[in-house]
Amino acid sequence: MIYPAGVDANSQGAAELLTVLMRTAARFTEMGRSLSQDHFPHVRSRAVSDLAGSVARLGAELELPGHELVFEVNVGLADGAFTVRGDLVLDGEETYLDLPLVETPDVRRLAELLDRYVDELTVPARRHVGDLLEDCGPEL
């Protein structure tokens, strides 16, 4: 990234972090929007983006008849390092996919981790949604 003269390293790091988080949120939003459009009116999507203290929660919630799928990554900051974890949870109870907690002090490595985790969570999304809609029966 190119920054204006006079921007210090902390500001650059903060700008990079914000860019990474915004890209992650946009990817989840696009996945949710696409699935919602493809399966209208049976799938509704809502973006997940929360910031609580030093933890950001990004993802998407999909509402299907009788079910809710939550795709989510959590990014934390503790002791000068970022932590990342992700999961895919059905109906608030059953974890379909639980991605391990990884720690890195580097924003660029964080971006790589988030890209990988978003891929791992969203690539199988169509299959999961299709399976759940099939289970709902022929009335859909």
Could you tell me if residue 108 is inside a domain? yes
Q: Is residue 31 part of a domain?
A: no
Kindly state whether residue 94 falls inside one of the protein's structural domains.
yes
80 inside domain: yes
Q: Is residue 30 part of a domain?
A: no
Q: What pLDDT tens digit does each residue of the chain (140 aa) get? A: 444 445 466 677 788 889 999 999 999 999 999 999 999 999 999 999 998 888 999 999 999 999 999 999 999 998 889 999 999 999 999 999 999 999 999 999 999 999 999 999 999 999 999 999 998 766 55
Q: Which strands form 81-90's sheet, in the order they lie side by side? A: 44-52, 55-64, 67-78, 81-90, 94-104
Number of domains in the chain: 1
Q: Are 49 and 83 in contact (CB under 8 A)?
A: no
Q: Is residue 71 part of a domain?
A: yes
- The pLDDT score that the predictor gives to residue 3 is 43
Q: Quote the domain boundaries for residue 123.
A: 42-135
Q: What is the pTM of this model?
A: 0.88
Q: Spell out the residues 6+ positions from residue 15 whose beta carbon is closer than 8 angstroms to its own.
A: 1, 3, 7
Task: Tokens for 21, please give them.
Answer: 């988080």
Asked if residue 50 belongs to a domain, the reply is: yes
Residues 6+ apart with CB under 8 A from 135: none
On whether residue 129 sits in a domain, the answer given is: yes
According to the model, what pLDDT value does residue 5 have? 47
